Structure 1
Amino acid sequence: MRRFFQCQGGRRALLSGAVLALSLMSAQALDRLDFVVAGGDEALERTVRRASLLIAQQSDNQTDPEDLFTAARADYGRILGALYAEGHYSAVIRIAIDGREAAGIAPLDVPGRIGTIAVFVDPGPRFRFSQTVVAPLAPRTELPEGFRPGETAASGVIGEAVDTAVLAWREASHAKARVSREDIVANHASQTLSADIALAPGPALRFGPVTVKGAERMRVQRILKIAGLREGTKFSQTELDRAANRLRRTGVFSSVSLAESETVLNGGLLPIEITVAEQKPRRYSVGAELSSVDGVALTGYWLHRNLMGGAERLRLDGAITNIGSGESGVDYEFGVSIDRPATLTPDTTAGLMAKIGHLDEIDYDADYAEFGLTFTQYFSEQLTLRGGFSFEYVQGTDPTGDFRYRNLSLPFGVTWDRRDSTTDALRGFYIDGTAKPFYGLGTTGSGARLTLDMRGYRSFSDQRFTVAARLQGGAILGSELLETPRDDLFFSGGGGTVRGQPYRSLGIAVPDGMGGTYLIGGTEFAAASMELRARFGTSWGGVAFVDAGYVGADGSSDSHAGAGIGVRYETGFGPIRFDVAAPVSGDTDDGVQIYIGLGQAF
């Protein structure tokens, strides 16, 4: 009997718990969210819905009454701001929670259960500018094209016009320029908006004394030299921003800020205070990529950001590639470099580099070494110029016997990077060009090696789709094929050129002296890639791509192509890439190739 009653009690407890759980779920359930935007403007409706917190919470399956109530009250301002941004200044917004206007419910009277929320938005007419005045303006100031009578009176255009005008005065040395009067009047009868804004430029100023706050291991004098703000030079916002970017570029600091003093010194000098927070000086990174034919590639580096207290950067790099490759042996490389910013000028970084490595390719083995001096000039955050001097040594064996190459070179290059992201670009372009004149010693030829890499990105449909294109080219001028160092010649095939084709599978066949041939790189190279990338939600994406490559030398040439599809998973620091590709033209017939890595292919 005792067991019987215990069992009954357990059943009753379970039944009571289930009823309680169902009651709680029912109390929090949102039966329906009705969202209506009058007028039939689909683009405007999408804008309003994107601004709504209620829509966002519905997408996230949020049903807590307090959260829904808070979102409903916030949506008045959020939706109104979105409508102002589109030029609608006479909107009517109603948000009813179970029939009661959300704005009329006291914050301490939140309903215990919310069943239905009805949102009704009448945007009203679109207003246009009747008057657009921002004065006085600095010489050569160009206000936004949309800020003129007759154009849509978007609120963002007004802010953009004011920011543009103030920035122009700051560029003209008037650091204290500000808005002194702002008259913005909406005329509902005529459906127009008048914007009359007065500026007070203030006096022309010069950079004054610069002080530093927050330095620990970094020497203050080096911070000042890297920043490059010279006392007595004319103030400009561009120079202030460049000083901050120079300090950030060193990698020493986790944060950098430059603040202008409220007080102007005699002679129109404006003191500047630099506040920095230093990062941990050491860092390391490891990476891996996998290809079904090329095998595993392991890379890594160890970095010291501030070796001697002047932002000197010591970096050790290592790479082991083609591990488990069915086509060639294991390649490896080890390199060391040290860079020093603000050498010669605040925008010039000087460096020393050295590297050694081994290549175990299908038709030859080689050991190589390189030593050099490098200079990098930063014209802006997007445009850089590189130059230097180096000595290269290569010694190896191919089917014809031993070979050795030695040369002195003067490599230089330029990079113009206007992408919005280096790991997953949605828009912009990237151009990198190099030229390396070299003088051969002994049997090594003399000439020049040229390369070009161009990439472009364009997104559409609210950035859900991206078209990415890449063109690569290269040429050896002046040096004969067999007199050119092997690592300067060009191959095609693999993840960096033509996916679906085996790594370095396209080259130039040369006689081996025994009636056969062996493969080396060519003196001419071109490759093209096209991708269509799609995003599904916030984390997943897909891609379809096609690649083609060409290699030639001494009148002989060949080409091949590959195509495939892939999956992307966003990690927050770049997408994980999984691609499957196969040949579509060429002599190879190795079937499907698989590529796994971090970041987009280009």
Structure 2
Amino acid sequence: MGGDRGRVLAESNRTGCLVALVALALSSAPAWAAEVRLSAPGASDGLRDALRASALSLEAAAGPDASAQDILAAARADYARLIGALYARGYYAPVIHIRLDGREAADISPLALPDRIARVEIDIDKGPAFAFSVAQIAPLAPGTELPEGFAPGKRARSTAIRDAAAAGVAGWRAAGHAKVELGDQRIIAQHPGATIDARLGLVPGPVVQFGDLVIAGRSAVRPERLRAIAGLPTGRRFDPEALERSADRLRRTGAFRSVSLAEAETLDPDGRMDITLNVTDDRPRRLGFGAELSSLEGVALSAFWLHRNLMGGAERLRFDAAISGIGGTEGGGEDYRLALRLDRPAFIGPDTGFFALAAIEHLDEPDSREDTARFGIGLTRTLSKRLAGEAAILLSYSDVRDDLGRRSMTHALLPVTATRDDRDNLLNPAGGSYLGLGVMPFLALGGSAESGARLTADARLYRSMGERVVLAGRLQFGSVLGAGAEGVPPALLFFSGGGGTVRGQPYQSLAVDLPGGERIGGRSFVGLSAEARVGMRRNIGLVAFADAGFVGADSWGGDGDWHSGAGLGLRYDTGIGPIRVDIAAPVGGGTGDGVQIYIGIGQAF
């Protein structure tokens, strides 16, 4: 009896374990997903991809948690989405079947759904491709350019019709007709000949003038300053580009998180249209930090504090502090810089701003020691979205100790710069270009200073080669005219080597050699850099690069030397800019040997 009882308990325990294992297996088994299929005979790969992207029922059915109700709702909406994808490519006579477990989705009642759907099948007969027999839109404003695809004989894509209508409306708006409307539309499909007769009518409406800028909501920036910065040309003929420029001016101040300009629905009796401005203020204060590391130059740390609306007029005050050369091993010591700058937008008209600046700097470089103080005022000018300029009058005092001895210099500086920037991303560009030009006459006011001018140029070009490769190139140029090397601060002369010029060569390792082994900066400089940036997967990228630099004793080259370096880098994209790690070694020249490492944020250029 005891043995039978033991046997029963054992069987009971085994049964309990089996039930537990089955329950565990069921709980950990992957959720069930339906079988999906899309068939479109004769469709190109591009069309098939577009149809699959439009068919949300396929995505819903493949998901592990989709219910029958979810799949049916997506399938019913897919009829319209698939028709839209086909119309966009000129197919106006398609036959579409969406079957759920063999039943047409359009015929299934939501009240009679099965517990689950095991199979989703989409069969599409795209039919013939239609062409335009008539492609007409009128009246058009002078100079309006219609899309090339909107013409008799061209594939009758619905997107071509839409783009033609948009181009016609844009043409009249550019001519001052802000209230242009799309009027009569006649679009007829002739199925026997597979043609589309498309006739669109436009109603231009009257020529409109800009009215007042009406400020809606509240902002810490005073209303009169909002109007001055926007620079809306009240009383002048409407121009959509002028409206966009007003919005851009407000965005450039950095004082606002969002800016929107809305056109009034109706015109006043004089044919003027008011514009309503809505802005959302950004946080008035901001604090930022930065860091870079070089195996030879050491650590560089920087920080800034920014006030975006100092006096209620979108004035921007910024303090910058930086220290570099911490722990460096290649000559020199630690460098310090403290600077402030106050900017006031719309100082003389909406596109000209005013700024005042002051800075003190201590530079402990391999071949010189320099203490500098500068202050001055200037103007900024925005010419377009991509083109801007700046001019200033500065007073500069420098105390210098280098291989030419110790001396002090006082200069009046007149720096003028111009930049053209159409890069698609400032921290991680994949296309576009950048050009910066500068000329700075300097006038000797005391000490051992000499008068002359300094020229600089920085040109960068970026080109995408497919989806994963970006080629980037950079050319730098500099020249000091009129003054000798002993008459200008070393910071205005040129050196080469390090992260900003030639990676793989020690910092400022290329200079002008003097008798007795002494060195000074050059009066001319050329820098060349090339990179191939390759995206690998997710946020990871690899870079191959090569840099070269030239420093000359004369203003236009002549007596000087070249050196070069090359290496590989790793990039990790953080969303706000890549983290950069570069490893480089010398390739040419006699200024260095060994491997160097550079770590920072953002691309090298």
Tell whether the structures are fold-level matches, with TM greater than 0.5: yes
Counterpart check, 1:148 vs 2:151: yes
Within the candidate set 24, 31, 36, 1:18 is matched to 24
- Of the candidates 174, 177, 182, which is equivalent to residue 179 of structure 1? 182
Greater shift in the superposed pair: 379-388 or 4-13: 4-13
Q: Is the 8 A contact 1:563 1:583 kept in 2?
A: yes
Percent same amino acid at aligned positions? 47
Question: What letter matches 2:539 in structure 1?
Answer: S
* 1:433 aligns with one of 430, 437, 443: 437
Which deviates more, 572-581 or 242-251? Answer: 572-581
Question: 453, 465, 482: which is aligned to 1:448?
Answer: 453
The equivalent residue for 1:201 is 204
Instruction: Please give the alpha-carbon distance, in whole angstroms, between the structure 2 residues aligned to 1:541 and 1:258.
Output: 40
Change (3 A) 1:206 1:325: same
2:527 is matched with: 527
The verdict on how the C-alpha distance between 1:187 and 1:537 changes in structure 2, with shifts beyond 3 A counting, is farther
Aligned position for 1:63: 64
Q: Cα–Cα, structure 1 residues 454 and 54, in superposed 2: closer, same or farther, change >3 Å?
A: farther
Question: Whole-Å Cα distance in 1 between the matches of residues 506 and 76 of structure 2?
Answer: 60
- What is aligned with 1:472? 476
Moved more, 207-216 or 362-371: 207-216
* Aligned positions of 1:324-363 closer than 5 A: 324-327=327-330, 328-363=332-367
Which residues in structure 2 correspond to 1:364-379 (within 5 Å)?
364-379=368-383
Aligned to 1:517: 518
Deviation at 1:96, TM superposition (A): 4.6
Residues of 1 paired with 2:464 and 2:113: CA distance?
Answer: 43
Query: Displacement of 1:364 after TM fit?
Result: 1.3
Mapped to 2, the partners of 1:537 and 1:35 lie a distance apart of 29
Post-superposition Cα deviations, 1:332-359, rounded to whole Å, max 9, x if no partner, equal: 2111000000111111111001111111
Evaluate the alpha carbon distance shift between residue 5 and residue 451 of structure 1 in structure 2; reply closer, same or farther with a 3 A threshold: farther
Match of 2:548 in 1: 548
Measured in 2, the distance between the counterparts of 1:305 and 1:11 equals 69
TM-aligned CA deviation for residue 565 of structure 1: 2.1
Displacement of 1:191:
3.1
**2:58 & 2:536 partners in 1: Cα distance?**
19
Change (3 A) 1:100 1:453: farther
- Residue 87 (structure 2) aligns with: 84
Task: Pick the aligned partner of 1:307 from 310, 314, 327.
Answer: 310
Kept after mapping to 2: 8 A contact 1:65/1:112: no
Q: Secondary structure at the match of 2:162?
A: helix
Q: Which amino acid aligns with 1:84?
A: Y
Q: 2 CA distance for matches of 1:51 and 1:553? A: 65
How many residue pairs end up in the alignment? Answer: 592
Does the residue aligned with 1:238 lie in a helix, a strand or coil? helix
Contact 1:300 1:319 in 2 (8 A): yes
Aligned partners of 1:333 and 1:357 also within 8 Å: yes
- Report the Cα offset of residue 76 of structure 1: 4.7
**Partner residue of 1:383?**
387
The structure with the larger Rg is 2
- How far apart are the structure 2 equivalents of 1:320 and 1:593? 21
Task: Name the aligned partner's letter for residue 570 of structure 1.
Answer: D
**What code does the residue aligned with 1:18 have?**
L
Contact 1:453–1:470 (8 Å) recurs in 2: yes
1:331: how far off? 1.2
Q: Please tell me whether the aligned partners of residues 130 and 150 of structure 1 are also in contact (alpha carbons under 8 angstroms).
A: yes
Note if 1:424 corresponds to 2:428: yes
8 Å CA contact 1:65–1:111 kept in 2: the answer is no
Unaligned runs of 5+ in 2: 1-5
Verify the 8 A CA contact 2:400 2:489 in the aligned structure 1. no
Superposed CA offset, 1:507-539 (max 9, x none): 22223xxx2222x32222222222222223442
Gap regions ≥5 residues in structure 1: none
Instruction: For residue 73 of structure 1, report the CA deviation from its aligned partner.
Output: 5.4
Q: Deviations over 1:149-185 (max 9, x none)?
A: 2333333333222222212212222111111122223
1:413 to 2:417 alignment: yes
> Deviation of residue 19 (structure 1)?
2.8
Q: What is the rounded CA distance, in whole Å, between the counterparts of 2:596 and 2:59 in structure 1?
A: 41
3-state SS in 1 of match to 2:514: strand
1:268 to 2:271 alignment: yes
Residue 193 of structure 1: SS of its match in structure 2? Answer: strand
Q: Which SS does the other structure have where 1:374 is aligned? A: strand
RMSD across aligned C-alpha pairs, in angstroms? 2.9
Counterpart residue identity of residue 340, structure 1: R
Q: Distance in 1 between matches of 2:334 and 2:115?
A: 67
Is the CA contact (8 Å cut-off) linking 1:28 and 1:65 kept in structure 2? no
Q: Distance in 1 between matches of 2:43 and 2:305?
A: 59
